[in-house]
């Protein structure tokens, strides 16, 4: 009966005129990496053309400076702290496909709303919102349990370990400590053994064996997870089925592009929602031979230009099927570029233009200001620039509105419908205040005064750069949100973004007559915001974010997880 009802709803909804929706999200792309945002040395003609044919947002803000919480906010239209996808620890993203944390099943994604309105929905590419809760096949966090009819891609994210064991990326500092402790234990056992055999130490064999066994168990306890990241996390899924474990990185670009184009061709009669979540431009920057060495900015530039080419091929598929005028198209990045991504003297992360900071920094603009480009010919104006504050969370109510969907009424939705702003029916954003979190810690607040050009930003906490004045946290690889690695400001650092968007010179009571009034109004807004927060289970807690063998997806008999079901069926479309 339920299946029949859903089928009837889809048939009815599909008969009405609703646009197809194409959402494209890059991974770790810096705002300054794109031509239409000021870069004149990287070639991004397809993204630039998209902006020329539509609307470009210059103050488009991610709800978090890291992928897991930012994407959770994007999917739900809610700050990550509301869904439990913020973190009070240094582990601010999901670390394992075999972990128990993830986007809670009771959260309603925009995919679910559109699915209920008759849309065929698909996610192709990166997920990074969890997989299982209690068993390796309950799929409680899986895309198909969050409103997507079809999923093809990585349940996790690209990391260096997917390519090799050099330049480890996943919890690198912790791995280094574990290696050190293991080496100390091994050296101690060896010393005791030599001492025993030579008579230098009066130690019992039982004690040596016990110490060696404890050391071995310690080594196994951490190496069983970190030593096999390539097999545990670098997996390719088709719906619930594992296609490749580990995934073949050299085929990833072609596979994802082929799947996106195929979905458009299969569903050309619509309406459809296609969310293309690129693996580009996250390290290790997997780039096909066609683009290697072609840019002026090394491997990172090659990867950006390849991603732009993929955008072009997907838009070509839309054009080929005659869907351009009936497709609402959007391009963005999940957060700012990763400044600390380096190998020796080679930069492997993005450029955030004039904006201070980058990935991992919850307050500084470079970590949260991202591209925001929309196109819908005949509905949205062409070659238009909007400077108003907007959020990735705004996509949720916007696409729900386009699909005539009903948003949940039992929870706070932080996003706002962008259509009136995009169409020029209103001149100002509905966002008066925006709250910039680093994990669970509020680092900054933006105040856009109603019917005014004034745009203030108060920083309560900022990261301590390493080395001092470097502009990023190069020693640790990523800036922290709390503890000894941050500076607390009382009164807050206050910037006038309308005249100082790069956040170079904070104003003070001596230089800004409105200083006390502005700080007072922002602090009142913070209090009002916190009154809307309710306690929820923490999805990124220590327990949820540890590897659990019984939750590990495996296409063989655990721990022998290896398969290649894509095989020779792969067709090269490059």
Select from 26, 3, 11, 55 the least CA-distant residue to 332.
26
**537 pLDDT more than 70:** yes
**Residues shown for the chain:** 574
Q: CA distances (Å), 429 to each of 130, 313, 329, 360, in order? A: 33, 32, 20, 26
Q: Would you place residue 8 in the very low, low, confident or very high pLDDT band (cuts 50, 70, 90)?
A: very low
pLDDT, average across residues 117-124: 98
- Which pLDDT value is given to residue 190? 87
- Which pLDDT value is given to residue 470? 93
3-state secondary structure (DSSP) of residue 115: helix
Residue 85 has phi, psi (to 5 degrees) of -95, 10
Residue 301 has phi, psi (to 5 degrees) of -60, -40
Q: CA distances (Å), 574 to each of 250, 257, 280, 313, in order? A: 12, 9, 16, 10
Reported as a single tens digit per residue, the pLDDT across 235-260 is 999 999 999 999 999 999 999 999 99
Reported as a single tens digit per residue, the pLDDT across 366-404 is 999 999 999 999 999 999 999 999 999 999 999 999 999
Count CA atoms within 13 Å of residue 10 on its CB side.
18
What is the C-alpha to C-alpha distance for residues 361 and 359, in angstroms, rounded to an integer?
A: 6
pLDDT, average across residues 205-218: 87
What is the C-alpha to C-alpha distance for residues 550 and 392, in angstroms, rounded to an integer?
A: 35
**HEC string for 36-73:** HHCCCCCCCHHHHHHHHCCEEEEEEECCCCCHHHHHHH
Reported as a single tens digit per residue, the pLDDT across 304-351 is 999 999 999 999 999 999 999 999 999 999 999 999 999 888 999 999
Catalytic residues: 67, 128
Q: What is the dihedral of CA 172, 173, 176, 181, to 10 degrees?
A: -140
Q: Are 93 and 64 in contact (CB under 8 A)?
A: no
Reported as a single tens digit per residue, the pLDDT across 540-564 is 999 999 999 999 999 989 999 999 9
- Which pLDDT value is given to residue 15? 38
What is the number of other CB atoms lying within 10 angstroms of the CB of residue 204? 9
β-sheet bridge partners, residue 459: 444, 493
Provide Rg for the chain, Cα atoms. 25
What is the C-alpha to C-alpha distance for residues 486 and 136, in angstroms, rounded to an integer?
A: 38
Q: Residue ranges of the alpha helices (H) in 60-158?
A: 67-76, 80-83, 110-116
Reported as a single tens digit per residue, the pLDDT across 152-209 is 999 999 999 998 756 666 667 777 788 788 898 888 888 888 888 888 878 888 888 8
Q: Token pair for residue 56?
A: 């470009």
Q: Are 281 and 28 in contact (CB under 8 A)?
A: yes
Q: Token pair for residue 160?
A: 């260096």
Reported as a single tens digit per residue, the pLDDT across 14-71 is 434 899 999 999 999 999 999 999 999 999 999 999 999 999 999 999 999 999 999 9
């Amino acid at each position: 009966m339920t299946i029949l009802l859903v089928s009837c709803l889809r048939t009815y909804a599909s008969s009405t005129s609703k646009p197809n929706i194409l959402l494209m999200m890059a991974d770790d792309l810096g705002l300054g990496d794109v031509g239409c945002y000021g870069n004149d040395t990287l070639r991004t003609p397809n993204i630039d053309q998209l902006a020329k044919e539509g609307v470009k947002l210059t103050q488009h803000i991610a709800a978090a400076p890291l992928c897991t919480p930012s994407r959770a906010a994007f999917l739900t239209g809610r700050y990550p702290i509301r869904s439990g996808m913020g973190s009070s620890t240094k582990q601010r993203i999901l670390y394992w496909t075999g972990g128990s944390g993830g986007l809670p099943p009771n959260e309603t994604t925009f995919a679910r709303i559109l699915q209920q309105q008759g849309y065929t929905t698909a996610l192709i590419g990166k997920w990074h919102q969890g997989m299982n809760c209690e068993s390796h096949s309950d799929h409680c966090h899986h895309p198909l349990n969050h409103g997507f009819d079809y999923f093809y891609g990585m349940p996790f994210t690209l990391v260096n370990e997917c390519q090799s064991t050099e330049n480890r990326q996943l919890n690198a500092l912790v791995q280094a400590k574990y290696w050190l402790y293991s080496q100390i234990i091994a050296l101690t056992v060896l010393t005791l053994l030599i001492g025993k055999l030579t008579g230098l130490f009066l130690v019992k064999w039982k004690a040596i064996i016990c110490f060696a066994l404890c050391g071995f168990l310690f080594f196994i306890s951490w190496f069983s997870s970190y030593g096999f990241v390539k097999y545990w996390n670098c997996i390719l899924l088709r719906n619930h089925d594992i296609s490749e474990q580990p995934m073949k990185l050299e085929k990833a670009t072609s596979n994802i592009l082929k799947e996106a184009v195929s979905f458009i061709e299969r569903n050309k009669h619509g309406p459809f929602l296609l969310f293309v979540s690129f693996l580009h431009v996250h390290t290790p920057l997997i780039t096909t031979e066609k683009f290697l060495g072609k840019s002026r900015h090394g491997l990172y530039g090659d990867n950006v230009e390849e991603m732009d080419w993929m955008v072009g091929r997907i838009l070509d598929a839309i054009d080929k099927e005659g869907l351009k005028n009936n497709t609402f198209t959007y391009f963005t990045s999940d957060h700012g570029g990763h400044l600390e991504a380096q190998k020796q003297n080679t930069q492997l992360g993005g450029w955030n233009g004039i904006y201070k900071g980058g990935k991992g920094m919850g307050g500084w603009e470079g970590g949260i200001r991202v591209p925001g480009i929309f196109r819908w010919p005949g509905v949205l104006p062409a070659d238009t620039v909007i400077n108003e504050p907007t959020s990735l969370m705004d996509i949720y109510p916007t696409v729900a509105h386009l699909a005539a969907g009903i948003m949940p009424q039992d929870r706070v939705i932080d996003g706002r419908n962008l259509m009136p702003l995009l169409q020029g029916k209103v001149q100002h954003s509905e966002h008066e205040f925006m709250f910039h979190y680093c994990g669970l810690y509020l680092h900054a607040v933006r105040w856009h005064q109603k019917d005014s050009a004034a745009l203030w930003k108060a920083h309560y906490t900022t990261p301590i750069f390493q080395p001092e004045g470097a502009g990023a946290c190069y020693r640790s690889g990523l800036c922290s949100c709390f503890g000894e690695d941050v500076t607390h400001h009382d009164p807050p650092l206050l910037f006038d973004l309308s005249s100082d968007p790069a956040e170079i010179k904070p104003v003070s009571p001596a230089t800004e007559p409105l200083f006390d009034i502005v700080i007072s109004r922002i602090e009142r807004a913070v209090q009002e915001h916190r009154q809307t927060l309710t306690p929820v289970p923490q999805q990124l807690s220590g327990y949820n974010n540890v590897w659990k063998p019984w939750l590990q997806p495996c296409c063989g008999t655990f721990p022998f997880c290896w398969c290649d079901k894509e095989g020779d069926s792969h067709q090269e479309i490059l």
